């Protein structure tokens, strides 16, 4: 996988089409803690890191990879206050297996650290991850900005919804207004680009047993 890694440009020009994800406090970790964990992962793998997300964008990622020679992921901080469930989750898990876009099993590297909160009342809720690469440290720079009103879903052309935390988008030529988001950092999207996560293992063993979690994604 490392041979396919491409370093995303960090100049002033933003790509026309890209994957965009907003991040904040999650699974009991602050933004600073998440970035430190992802940076350690990036350093251990020659630049590659896995960024967990909660929604499936597999068809859109496939379309982006088809269109773009060097697909990118842009990361922006969420501007709203974190929810209580993100600050103090009842259970946190680490994902240990994955499945690629093709449906084939994908072996996560031993240094990959993909975590999320776990809700035993919703064991069927799936989690996913973007496969990213950067030659630069994962640090918040905020040198570039995105106009939310100019973003359109890549496949449908529809305006981006406020609840779409992660989406594959293109920038419209004519902006119709809207709030702006800073681009904290950028990374290349590299093969296998997008994976579905499997087999969650609890980090809070006293809350739920491994047996109860194996019912999902095992």
Q: Half-sphere exposure of residue 112, counting CA atoms within 13 Å on the CB side? A: 23
CB-neighbour burial class of residue 140 (10 A; exposed 0-12, middle 13-18, buried 19+): middle
Question: Given a cut of 60, is residue 3 above it in pLDDT?
Answer: no
Alpha-carbon gap, residue 99 to 105, rounded angstroms: 5
> With bands split at pLDDT 50, 70 and 90, how would you rate the model's confidence at 213?
low
Omega before residue 192 within 30° of 0, cis: yes
pLDDT in tens, 147-174: 999 999 999 999 998 889 999 999 987 6
pLDDT in tens, 102-128: 889 999 999 999 999 888 777 678 899
pLDDT in tens, 8-58: 344 448 999 999 999 998 888 999 999 999 999 999 999 999 999 999 999
Q: What is the pTM of this model?
A: 0.85
For residue 151, the tally of other CB atoms under 10 A from its CB is 21
């Amino acid at each position: 996988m490392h041979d396919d890694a491409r370093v995303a440009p960090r100049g002033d020009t933003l790509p026309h089409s890209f994957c965009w994800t907003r991040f904040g406090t999650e699974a009991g970790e602050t933004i600073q803690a998440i970035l430190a964990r992802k940076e350690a992962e990036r350093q251990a793998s020659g630049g590659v890191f896995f960024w967990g997300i909660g929604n499936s964008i597999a068809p859109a990622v496939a379309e982006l990879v088809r269109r773009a020679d060097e697909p990118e992921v842009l990361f922006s901080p969420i501007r709203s206050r974190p929810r209580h469930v993100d600050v103090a989750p009842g259970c946190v898990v680490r994902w240990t297996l994955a499945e690629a876009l093709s449906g084939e099993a994908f072996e996560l590297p031993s240094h990959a650290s993909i975590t999320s909160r776990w809700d035993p009342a919703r064991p069927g809720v799936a989690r996913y991850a973007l496969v990213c690469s950067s030659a630069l440290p994962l640090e918040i720079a905020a040198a570039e900005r995105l106009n939310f009103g100019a973003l359109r879903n890549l496949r449908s052309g529809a305006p981006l919804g406020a609840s779409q935390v992660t989406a594959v988008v293109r920038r419209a030529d004519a902006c119709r207004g809207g709030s702006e988001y800073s681009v904290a950092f950028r990374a290349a999207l590299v093969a296998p680009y997008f994976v579905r996560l499997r087999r969650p293992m609890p980090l809070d063993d006293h809350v739920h047993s491994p047996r109860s979690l194996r019912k999902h994604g095992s």
